[in-house]
Amino acid sequence: MRTSELEELPISKIKAIYDYIPPRGIFKMHVKSLTGIETNGLYIDTFIAPDKLNAQNLRANIQKVKDAVKVVHHLNIKMAILGGFTSLLLEGNFNDFEDYDMVLTTGNSLTSAYVVKGLEKAAREHGISMSESNVLVIGATGDIGMACTNYLKGKVNRLLLCARNMNRLKTFGQRLLDEGHEVKYSSDLSELAPEADLIISVASSSEIAISSLKPKVIICDAGYPKNLEEKVEKVPGVFLFHGGMGQLKHGYSFNPDYTSQFYRYPAPHLGHGCIIEIILMAFEGIKENFSMGKGNITSEKIDLMYELSLKHGIELAPFYNSDGILEASKNNSTT
């Protein structure tokens, strides 16, 4: 955001400076639906450095998110999505916003919809049967991980669930076993990865070591920072795409236009499922906190959000990763 005549700032300085910048609107967004409806939004930034996303800084981070919501309130904006890490405020037990007369959402229902529908589409294009597949979910006890797992249960051969905290994982895994599903859970990925045909990764960590994969595997990496990409993208037989994304085919513009600096994608008008969820809520006039709390996203909510997305002409993003657009057939022909 500095002009090109100025020398680049070192990362350490950027992190130090940004830490002091209060939450503020960065750019306006304008969106058009297939139905002809249009709506406007504002992208508000509250900066938390990636290396401060830990328990030690939790209180300060939560305060930053609360301050950002206050900005929304002061601007008299009536709907907001708390995306990425900021969704922790809505997944936790915070009631600070009840007096704000504002609708909030984590956006996780539509994100989960794009993840599972993307996985189903990729499997279809690769001739892989969902019902015969073992699906590994990394980050299975998170809000999106649980939503995807609950959506897929009964539709796949076996669920393989991974997260670090064994207590939470055991509670969730045992519940699914009690419901009669084929489930294996472990905090040790090496016990699960060799059995997986399809993988969803929705953890907030790039420190996930994965190996011993089957010769042909489809991976939907929807976490930030990208969870698996650097470890497996070049492995033959691996089809890895960035999941949780939609394509707004009928108009999605920013003012000022930061698309080339901010979100660089290999196809036009791509957007995060979470952001698109609030766009759909605005189009439809939904006045409830649609995705709230942790583990509350039902398959009905996933299907409803996905239907609304298609109604407004917002489709699954094409398959891509940091190498660019992927062709399903390319991978097929090499395996």
Positions that interact with ligand NAP (CB under 6 A): 83-84, 87, 91, 107-108, 111, 138-145, 162-165, 168, 202-205, 207-208, 222-224, 244-245, 272-274
| Shortest spacing between CB 37 and ligand NAP, in angstroms | 22
**Smallest Cα–Cα separation from 199: which of 225, 233, 173, 171?**
233
Cβ(151)–Cβ(116) under 8 Å?
yes
Question: Residue 172 and residue 170: Cα distance in Å, rounded?
Answer: 5
| Shortest spacing between CB 210 and ligand NAP, in angstroms | 10
| Shortest spacing between CB 173 and ligand NAP, in angstroms | 12
Which of 161/286 has CB closer to ligand NAP? 161
Which of 132/188 has CB closer to ligand NAP? 188
| Shortest spacing between CB 36 and ligand NAP, in angstroms | 26
CB contact set of 270 (below 8 Å; sequence gap of 6+): 245, 246, 247, 248, 263, 317
| Shortest spacing between CB 62 and ligand NAP, in angstroms | 14
Which of 26/216 has CB closer to ligand NAP? 26
C-alpha R_g of the chain? 20
Cβ(194)–Cβ(215) under 8 Å?
no
| Shortest spacing between CB 333 and ligand NAP, in angstroms | 28
| Shortest spacing between CB 50 and ligand NAP, in angstroms | 11
Which of 143/197 has CB closer to ligand NAP? 143
Q: Residue 250 — φ and ψ, nearest 5°?
A: -110, 10
Task: Output the DSSP codes for 198-257.
Answer: EEEE--S-S--------SSEEEEE-SSS-SSHHHHTTSTTEEEEE-SEEEETT-EEEES-
Which of 23/223 has CB closer to ligand NAP? 223
CB contact set of 186 (below 8 Å; sequence gap of 6+): 161, 162, 169, 192
Which of 123/274 has CB closer to ligand NAP? 274
- Residue number, nearest CB to ligand NAP: 142
Other beta carbons within 10 angstroms of residue 334's beta carbon come to 10
Q: In what order do the strands lie in the sheet with 270-272?
A: 270-272, 245-248, 314-316
Which of 39/296 has CB closer to ligand NAP? 296
